[in-house]
Every structure is written in C-alpha cells, then in structure tokens.
Structure 1
Amino acid sequence: MSLPDGSVFAGFTVVRSLGAGGMGEVYLVKHPRLPRSDALKVLPASLSADAEYRRRFEREADAAATLWHQHIVGVHDRGEFDGRLWISMDYVEGSDAGNVLRTQCPGGMPRDQVFAIVTAIADALDYAHSRGLLHRDVKPANILLGAGGPGRGRVMLADFGIARRVDDFDGLTSTNMTLGTPSYAAPEQLLGEALDGRADQYALAATAFQLLTGQPPGGDSTPMVLISKRVSGVVPRLAEFRSDLADLDPVMAIAMARRPADRFPSCADFAAALARGAAPTLPPVVAPAAPAAPTARSSPAAAPMGPVRQPDPPVTARSGLSPTAWALSGIGALLVVALVFVGVVLLRGRDGHSGATTSAEATATSAETPEVPVTSVESTSPETATSLVPTTTRMVLPDADSRGFTTYNGAARCAGADEAAMILRTAQSVVVICRSSVGVLYYLGYRLSDGAKIRLSTVHQSGDGYVAINDPDAAEYHVSSSGLEIVQNGKTLASEPAVESAR
C-alpha cells in the first residue's frame, strides 16, 4: 500500500512519491529531527515477512552503510515499521539516467557525457570492490544524475540494497537468479556462479551500451534468447546503432567478455579505455608473432586455425556483418522455464574452459614442444584453390564418440555432458561442433601441425553444416561434410577438404 503525501512513517514525513517497483516504493521524506530531506525506500510487506529475505536485507543494508564515496548514494538508517522494512538514503535532486534517456536522449547521449558518467560510476564500483562489496545491479535506473547534469551536477550510484560481501556464499543467495537485471547481468551471475568485481564491470559496460545508443544491450529479445546469448558470449555491437561509435566496439568486447578473466582488471581500466576509444591491450593468449610471416612451425600449405587475439593488435572498426541469428531449434515452451531455473544445475558442473567465450583460445597442448604463436595473418604463399567434395555424413569414426574425438588430449571434445552435433577431420585440422545441455552451439578446432586450439561461441546452422564466427575480427568458419573453409571479408583464407566426417 502506497503512503499518501503528508503521512508519517517511522517518524519520517512523506513529501511525495519518487517511484515504485517490484522491490518497494521510494519516497521523498523529511527527517524527523534534522532539517534535511532523505529518500526513504519501503519494502513490500510480503518481502518483509520473509525471514530469509529479512536477514539478507539487514546484512546488505549494514554493508552498504559502510560505504562513503562521492559517487555512491549514502545509506543513513534502516528499520521496520508497521510490518514493513525500510531504509533511508541520501536524496539526489535530479533524475536517473534511464529516465533521461527516455525523455531527452532516446537515440543515446553524447559520448562525452557517457564517458563522464561511466568514469564516475567505475570509481564508485572500484571503491566498493576494494572494501569487499559488490553492487550486482548496475543499470541506468540506478544511476542518479544531479540537476546540473553530467560534468556539472552529481553522478551517483544508487541502490546498493542487493550488495553483499565478495566471499558471502552462506546460502543467502540461493535465489541468485532473481537478483540483478538480466539485460545487464553478467553470464556468471545468470548462472548462479561465484562473482567478483568483474561482474559489476560487465553490467557497467552493458549500461554504457544503452547510454550510448538508447537501446538496451539485449534489444527486445525474450528472456530465453537474452540469457542464451549472454551465456554463449554474444556481445552487442555499438556500430549497428551508431556508426560513429565503431571505435568503441573492441573495448566493449573486452568488458563484456564471457569469461571474467578476459575482462579489464578493474572498472576504472574499462572507463579509461572507453574514453580513449580503443582497448590499450587485449588479454594475452600466446606470445605475438612477427606481423607478416607464417608461424615458425607451420608450412605455407597449413591452414590457420583462425585469427587469434594478440597482446597489441591495431584496433580497426568492423562493419558489414549483422549479429548471428540465434535460435534454439527443437526446444519447446518448457525450455523457457528450464533455462532459467534449471540452467544453473545443468551448467555449473563444467570446468573453467567449458563456458563459451567471445575470443579464440590458442595454446600448445603438447608437453614436449614449446608454445608456438598462432598468427592472424594469411600465408604469404599463393593459395591453391581447392574443390570441396562432401564425405559420407553418417560414417563412424574409430576415434570418436557422441562427444567428439577421444584422441588429441581432449582438445576436440565437448565439455561435460555436451554432445557433438558434427565432427570433421581434414588433413590439417579436426573440428567439433558441440551442443550444450540447453541447446547452445559452440565450435572447437584443433590444428594437427602444432596443437593450436580455438573455441568460438557464435555458431549457427547453415544448410547441411554450420558457420562459426570469430567475433573480434569477423572471420567465418564454414564447417560441412565437404570440409572446412575460413572466410574473412569475402576472401577465403583457408580451404581444407574433408577426410572424414560424421553427424
């Protein structure tokens, strides 16, 4: 039940309502003793009566009260009145960033204003992380802009009401799937996995995407499609909404990487890279090779396993490719529920490399040989055109089963309980297209010449085969019973006829 203007609640006099949502109502109130105005959040009676939620609320309000930062809305007090929990906070005169987008900047804010907002919020988040606290619900609606506007007024991060300690895993988050907002939540948060400050960095990047384009990072996708994209590592592209923002896409690809280890070390690092317009460095994979030469161990005839991120590549804007169309074929309405509520159980058991990533991984798997760099450049030798002829699509391979190849040290084998949708062997490579427990496809490749591996998370079915996309540089890997072709910007980089394949 909402509180009328002029009423008194827990000693506070209600001036007017500031907003309401599923987690309660917020009012502008007069302090009972001090000559100031506060923002009072009053939780619904249903939540207040929940013993588990009450315990979490009290602990998180106490944690938030320890934060003292110029860009964090301060928490003053908490309590219970008339069967409803409440928390009093600083009142920031102005509006939230989400409302500013809707009413003033539907096509996105000027980039300088967004940089100012992101820098301020990044500083606030890093401060909270240094004190062992996470926010877990960074989004435009929780960023308050003072009446002066960005650069002139206050920029404040609100609602640390779901903050918790980084090492808090005592069961208070058994309902973690309901915490945070899916449009901005990191993949590991959607899966109920352990979180650290890089989950907030992901949400800040998703928020920056909306501030710059006026569009939520998930678009108008259904919850099922949105969650599957996040878990699969799909990163939205700014350039598809504003071509003048193409230089920021490489930065967003890092901050919104599927694996936390592939993101920036801190929120401030992300904000600084965003302001510069390009990522200063990319997470290293292997030692860089000389830029216009083939790898030391590979011959000109060996096909590259694909462009692999290097520590210091030149950043160029990409255009011309739309995002992969995502469809979970054969999955009915029951999967909508299963994906959200059972997905954690199905996916949590995987090892650290089982989740799809936005970048290719390249490592040498043989213990007897040193790591060999895998470059993204094409061979300097002339390419010989190869005609691909389909192989038998139902043949049984002696060293393969329903999860892929049993050889190659497990490098071409689906993770956990995932099953192979297609397996392919050429003279140079082996490839497995895997399908996860929730129907998400991913690509595993292994180069026979030097043991280099690649994993791609953007995969869709095409004809009798599949197409995987290496998002950082838009190289396409066409896999079919005929063989493997790697195409970039319309040019064929490699063509490997199939020796044998199976589906």
Structure 2
Amino acid sequence: MGSATGRGTGETFGRYELQTRLGQGGMGQVWCAFDSVTDRQVAVKVLPPELADDAGYRARFDREARAVSKLRHPNVVPIHNFGEIDGRLYIDMALLEGEDLGTVLRREGSLPLDRTVRVIGQVAAALDAAHDSGLVHRDVKPANIVLHPSGHTYLIDFGIAHADGQTALTRDAGAIGTLAYMAPERFDGRSGPGSDIYALTCVLFQCLTGRPPFAADSTAQHIASHLTKPPPRPTGLVPGLPAALDGVVARGMAKRVEDRYRRAGELAEDLARSAMDRRPPRGAPVPLRKVRSGPPPTAVIPPTAVNPPDFPNTPDFPSPASMGPPPPPPTRAPRRGAVVALAVAAAVLVLGAVLAFVLGRDTGDSSAVATSPISTETSTPPTAPSSPESATSESPPSFERMATFVRDYYGLLPDDTEQAWALFDPHYAEKVGRAGFDEFWPTIRSVSVGAVEPRDASSVIVTLTFVTVDGRTESEKRWVSVAENRGRLSVYDSERIGAA
C-alpha cells in the first residue's frame, strides 16, 4: 500500500483511500474507504497477501465473487467491484449504516422476541436467495448481520462464500467459518444450504438467550459439542419463552442435514408461528388469576375456564367385581352428592341465561358478544367495526397478543407476502384484494414497527415507517383490528389514520 494521499490520512490502495478499519479476521480486513473513481464511501475487504499467490484459490475467488456480485436481494449487501490490487485480492461492497448483530447482542444481551423474528426472517430470505443461486455463505454469524436503524437487516461478507458443489474456499486446508456456528458436517469438509440453516439457528438461539448454543473453552470442546451434544433448549435459559421455540431450535440444529429445515424460509415461518404461541413451557407453573370484587365483567368466559381440573388426590374405589351384584334402584330421596351435582348444573344453566341476557340486551340478539367500550381516541376512524364477526365465539385477545401479532405480521413484509396474506381474515382479504396487495408491497424496501397502542378490546393503533425502493421514508399511524378464531389470530380490518 502506498503513502497517504487524497482525503483524510488513510493509506492508498489503488483507487481506494483506506480510512477506518471496520473489522479484521482470518480472511482479511474490512475498511471504510473512499473510492476516487465513483466518488463515494464504500466498504473494502482486503484479503491476506498469500492467497493471491495460490492460482487455484485465485480462480475460485474470481468465479465466486462474480457470482455473488450478480446476487440481487434487498437483504444482501451489494458488491460493486472485485479483483486484485498490488498483489492483494479485494472486494468492494456498499457501506452500510447501522450496527452488526454481534455488537448489539454484546450490549443488550438478547433481543426481544418480536425483533428476533424480524431479524431472522430477513436473514433467512437472503440465504434462500443465495441458495437458489447455487451459493453457500459458510460463515453466518452475528458479526455478519447488519441491523439498519430503520429495522432493515443485511447479510454481509459473502466474500468467503463458495459455489455449492464446488471445492470450498479454505486457508491452509482449514475450514472457513466460526466455530460457535459451524454445523457438524463442516468438520468433515462438507457444506451446503443445510450448513447455513444450522448456523442461522445458532444465531437464533443467541438472539433468544444472549449466548451461543454451546459454551466451550477450546476448539476441541466446540467441535465435540456440535458433533455429539443435543441442541439446547432456549426455554431452559429463558423460562418465559414460548415452548414451541425449543422444537424450532431442535430441528434447525439437527445433527443430520436431512433432518433440518429444507429452506431457511421454513425456519423463519416456524419461528414466527412459535413466537405467537404464548403457552408456557412444559412443567412451568400456571399463574392463578386474582378474583376482583364488583360486578361481573362483560366478557365471554373461554371454554377452557369451565373444564374440570385434574384432582391429584382422587380416592381409589373398589372394582365392580369386589362389590357384588348391583343393588336395586333406590326408592328413597337422591343422595346429597346427587343433589349438589344437580344444583351445580342448574346454576350453570342460570348463569348462562343471565350472561346471554346481559350481553345481548343492547342489540336485541341473545347471541351477541359484548366488548370493552370503544376508546375515545379522536383519530380512530368512526366507521371501523368494533368487534370482528369471526371472533364472536371467543374472548377478545389480550393487548399483548394483538401487539405481538401485529409486529410479527409487519415483520414478514415486504419479503414474505404469501405468509402475510395468509394472516388476513377472509373479510379483510376480500376488502383489500390480492391484486392491490401485490401491487403495493414491491414498491417498499422495508417497513419498521414503532409504538403499538391499545384502541379497544379487538384492535390496536400502530406506528409504521416505510422505506420505498427509491429511498423515500414515510411514516403513518394505522388502526388494525384483530380477530381470533380457534386460537388463531388474523387481520380483520386495517385503515390508515394519518401521518405519524
């Protein structure tokens, strides 16, 4: 590298002025640089000098860098240029604003569940695009995931990727990658899309728990853990997580490639569904609800509230054989237990009648479901329905469930429109129309969710920020109504209230 010249005090590297070193690893250094030809700031990765002396490596590098440069996806950092300068191989990439996920995890410990869903979903989309092009990343880890302030996520450092089915890019016959995230087959010199999915699941585990899946003090321990230890359960470290997440991690980190998810998108879909499962992990204590004084609430009692519990101290009754023939029908008055049972049944019927009368008297329909009074928020559209028709047989979902659902829904967009469309109630799907839906979302590069506020018993007000494909940023407040049917939430209605 030559002497300092041009802007700043950095060293010159051909057409680039290397200004600030952003990172360094076994495969070279990454610099914030100024490109004097295009007059812009870029990120330049400069590989170790000995790699340029290896003719086989140079040929593979050129072939793979060319393939990566053709990969066009919103969650993949664009590659501008690549080649050799002064006997050093290099890759010129877009300079991204934001922090890498590794830095964020070191500072915050872990990510909230809804943010984890959004981050993993976007990285999964990038991996599927790469795999469909015949490329394998081979070093998926938090340091190679950049989080933009808008909420958009990028997968970077495809510079060590290799074309699937071809000889892997290695250095000194060693495996390329990071031990904490390497799939078992990587230690046999094999890799493929399943290896990236395993690594992404390791990143998912770290996002949920704040630590990599396996703690180890040496290379040998790391390798042994990936080869022999079962996938860890995130709920074992964070008991409040949904129990279904254990199954997602177990499948994503399966020892055999054929037992894992076939595509990264399938992992992301399972993660999104599992995040909406609010059942506690198996064996966790179930909190008791406090009984409040005052008039009964105007809410539908969920069916599970009247199911009889399993009594632990049920007495052992003698078997029929030891009791002899059954006695004749009694002619005396029913026993006290029977009277109590009849009284309970009658009380249930009376309670049902009273509830039906109270809940239905305002509408004249005895099957109507009452909801909490509508908020006096002046920005709420007056024509919005206060309660989805499809939810009339169940109690309204809690605000926490609605908020998580709305965040997860927008976390799918704009990348996974199929999954997002599947979350529409038929009422809203008919209202929106698939043509308009498919026409709008390709114009959006990213969407981030801000504040989610309660509106009434079946809807929320959400603040959204959109970044369009031409770089414009727009924010708005939107009213979203949520329906619940058989435990499944869906978007029942949605309208724009105004600018945020």
TM superposition score normalised by structure 2: 0.52
Aligned to 1:265: 262
2:224 paired with 1:220: no
Aligned match for 1:158, one of 134, 156, 159: 156
In structure 2, distance between residues paired with 1:238 and 1:67: 34
Gaps of 5+ in 2: 285-500
Give the drift of 1:318. 4.5
Contact 1:79 1:87 in 2 (8 A): yes
Aligned match for 1:120, one of 122, 127, 141: 122
Give the drift of 1:57. 2.2
Aligned to 1:234: 230
- 1:183-211 alpha-carbon deviations (Å, 9 max, x no partner): 11111112223x33121111100011112
Contact 1:251 1:279 in 2 (8 A): no
In structure 1, distance between residues paired with 2:251 and 2:2: 43
Aligned to 1:19: 23
In structure 2, distance between residues paired with 1:204 and 1:230: 14
Identify, as 1 or 2, the structure richer in helix: 2
2:113 paired with 1:111: yes
Secondary structure of residue in 2 paired with 1:128: helix
In structure 2, distance between residues paired with 1:268 and 1:184: 18
Secondary structure of residue in 2 paired with 1:178: coil
Cα distance change, pair 97–176 in 1 and its aligned pair in 2 (3 A): farther
Secondary structure of residue in 2 paired with 1:231: helix
Secondary structure of residue in 2 paired with 1:87: strand
In structure 1, distance between residues paired with 2:131 and 2:166: 13
2:195 paired with 1:199: yes
Report matched runs for 1:35-50 at 5 Å. Answer: 35-50=39-54
In structure 1, distance between residues paired with 2:151 and 2:70: 24
Report matched runs for 1:483-498 at 5 Å. Answer: none
Amino acid in structure 1 at the alignment position of 2:281: A
Higher relative contact order (CA 8 A, sep 6+): 1
Aligned to 2:281: 317
Contact 1:176 1:189 in 2 (8 A): no
Contact 2:101 2:147 in 1 (8 A): yes
Give the drift of 1:73. 0.8
In structure 1, distance between residues paired with 2:283 and 2:215: 19
In structure 2, distance between residues paired with 1:96 and 1:250: 27
Aligned to 1:476: none
Secondary structure of residue in 2 paired with 1:16: strand
Amino acid in structure 2 at the alignment position of 1:66: K
2:228 paired with 1:256: no
Amino acid in structure 1 at the alignment position of 2:156: A
Aligned to 1:244: 240
Amino acid in structure 2 at the alignment position of 1:184: Y
Amino acid in structure 2 at the alignment position of 1:135: H
Cα distance change, pair 30–100 in 1 and its aligned pair in 2 (3 A): same
User: Mean Cα displacement is larger for which, 42-51 or 159-168?
Assistant: 42-51
Secondary structure of residue in 1 paired with 2:281: coil
Cα distance change, pair 263–64 in 1 and its aligned pair in 2 (3 A): same
Larger radius of gyration between Structure 1 and Structure 2: 2
Contact 1:2 1:25 in 2 (8 A): no
Give the drift of 1:154. 2.7
Aligned to 1:95: 99
Aligned to 1:51: 55
Amino acid in structure 2 at the alignment position of 1:98: G
Secondary structure of residue in 2 paired with 1:73: coil
In structure 2, distance between residues paired with 1:86 and 1:15: 16
Secondary structure of residue in 2 paired with 1:271: helix
In structure 1, distance between residues paired with 2:74 and 2:221: 38
Give the drift of 1:97. 0.3
Aligned to 1:67: 71
In structure 1, distance between residues paired with 2:283 and 2:165: 42
Give the drift of 1:172. 5.5
Q: CA RMSD in A?
A: 2.7
Contact 1:233 1:257 in 2 (8 A): no
Contact 2:113 2:275 in 1 (8 A): no
TM superposition score normalised by structure 1: 0.52
2:272 paired with 1:275: yes
Give the drift of 1:7. 2.6
In structure 2, distance between residues paired with 1:142 and 1:92: 12
Contact 2:60 2:169 in 1 (8 A): yes
2:213 paired with 1:183: no
Contact 1:134 1:200 in 2 (8 A): yes
In structure 2, distance between residues paired with 1:40 and 1:97: 20
In structure 1, distance between residues paired with 2:276 and 2:114: 17
Contact 2:2 2:12 in 1 (8 A): no
Amino acid in structure 1 at the alignment position of 2:214: G
Amino acid in structure 1 at the alignment position of 2:247: P
Cα distance change, pair 23–181 in 1 and its aligned pair in 2 (3 A): same
Amino acid in structure 2 at the alignment position of 1:100: V
Contact 2:239 2:281 in 1 (8 A): no
Cα distance change, pair 78–174 in 1 and its aligned pair in 2 (3 A): closer
In structure 1, distance between residues paired with 2:173 and 2:20: 32
Cα distance change, pair 210–2 in 1 and its aligned pair in 2 (3 A): farther
Aligned to 2:143: 141
- 1:438-464 alpha-carbon deviations (Å, 9 max, x no partner): xxxxxxxxxxxxxxxxxxxxxxxxxxx
Aligned match for 1:10, one of 9, 14, 37: 14
Contact 2:80 2:94 in 1 (8 A): yes
Cα distance change, pair 153–172 in 1 and its aligned pair in 2 (3 A): closer
Cα distance change, pair 319–11 in 1 and its aligned pair in 2 (3 A): farther
Gaps of 5+ in 1: 281-314, 321-503
Amino acid in structure 2 at the alignment position of 1:142: N
In structure 1, distance between residues paired with 2:140 and 2:173: 15
Amino acid in structure 2 at the alignment position of 1:226: H
In structure 1, distance between residues paired with 2:173 and 2:196: 15
Give the drift of 1:177. 4.5
In structure 1, distance between residues paired with 2:80 and 2:264: 26
In structure 2, distance between residues paired with 1:134 and 1:172: 11
